[in-house]
Amino acid sequence: MAIRQYHFTIRLPRKYTKIINYLKPLQGNEWDCKVSELRKKKYGTGARRDELKGLIRTHLEKRQGHHCAFCGLDLRTRGAQIEHIAPKAARLYPQFMWESKNLILACPLCNGFTKKSTYDSIDILDAQYRNCTFKIVHPYFDDPNMHFEYVTHPNTGLAFLIKARLIKGVPSAQGAKSIELFGLKEPEMTEERYKDALANSLPVPNFDALIQEVTNKGYVS
Ligand SMILES: [Zn+2]
């Protein structure tokens, strides 16, 4: 399945963990404010901040591969953006800005203003990131197969259709929230998955037949 759980942790060289410490206390703007603004905190921190972001991106590209963490679409044709799973905005969770398990690559569709953006993804906050409870299926902490149910195309095994898996007879709340937030079962997303399959020269069903199948199986509300 293209929506996967990830198990890696980004380990940064000490010179970069020092930069993160210089940036504290985090206000929310340290990720993308001008380098000149960071100079107030500690000499040289600004340029190193950009190096640090580049290093994080390289790690993610190497370890995560080329699928969006939220929708599974191919990032090679769409461009990958570093996403903060718990938003870094000042009024939300700037303290988790550089937390390895809070950083993942997402496609522009999922990271866009109308979807994830500054959505408050934490249900129960804890001082330790690992102990927070999330409203969505977390790319590192949750097994997507526990929260999503797929109908896969028999010839390719590709998951074109998706809905929240039933847990004790009730749809997974995290699965349902991710599906709603990222529009995972909307026809547009099915079409994007279809385009990925075509781009990879995989045998796919006729698109109209596929949409008919989505409708028949009740995977579109
Ligand atoms: Zn995506």
pLDDT at 156 exceeding the cut of 70: no
Asked whether the predicted pLDDT for residue 177 surpasses 80, the reply is: yes
| Ligand 1 midpoint to CA 33 (Å) | 25
**Distance (Å, whole) CA 37 – CA 43:** 11
Strands, E assignment, 64-202:
81-84, 103-106, 122-124, 133-134, 148-152, 159-164, 166-167, 170-171
Greatest mean pLDDT among 74-83, 181-190, 191-200 lies in 74-83
Confirm if 34 and 24 have CB atoms less than 8 A apart: no
Distances from the Cα of 218 to the Cαs of 69, 83, 161, 171, in angstroms? 25, 31, 10, 14
How many Å lie between the centroid of ligand 1 and the Cα of residue 212? Answer: 23
Q: What distance in angstroms lies between residue 110's CA and the mean position of ligand 1's atoms?
A: 4
Question: Distance from the CA of 53 to the center of ligand 1, in angstroms?
Answer: 20
Each residue of 159-173: pLDDT tens digit?
777 889 999 999 999
pLDDT digits (tens, 9 = 90+) for 74-123: 999 998 999 999 999 999 999 999 999 999 999 998 987 566 667 899 99
Predicted confidence (pLDDT) at residue 1 exceeds the cutoff of 60:
no
19's tokens: 């930069």
* Residue predicted with more confidence, 57 or 213: 57
What is the value of pTM for the model shown? 0.89
The span from the CA of 4 to the CA of 120, in Å, is 22
Residue extents of the structural domains in the chain:
14-120, 144-216
pLDDT at 194: 84
Q: How far apart are the first and last CA of the chain?
A: 23
CA of 14 to the centre of ligand 1 (A): 32
| Whether residue 18 has pLDDT greater than 70 | yes
Q: Would the pLDDT of 221 be above 50?
A: no
Count CB atoms within 10 A of the CB of residue 79: 10
Mention every residue, 6+ apart, whose C-beta is less than 8 A from residue 148: 3, 137, 162, 163, 164, 165, 172, 175, 178, 179, 184
Mean pLDDT, rounded, for 33-48: 74
Span from the CA of 105 to the centroid of ligand 1 (angstroms) = 9
Q: Which residues neighbour ligand 1 (ion) by CB within 5 Å?
A: 68, 70-71, 107, 110
What is the mean predicted confidence (pLDDT) over 135-162?
A: 85
How much is the pLDDT for 138? 98
CA of 49 to the centre of ligand 1 (A): 26
Using a 10 angstrom Cβ sphere, with 0-12 exposed, 13-18 middle and 19 or more buried, the burial of residue 146 is middle
Which pLDDT score is estimated for 191? 84
**Residue predicted with more confidence, 1 or 203:** 203
**Segments in 154-206 forming alpha helices (H):** 173-182, 187-199
Mean of the per-residue pLDDT values of the chain: 87
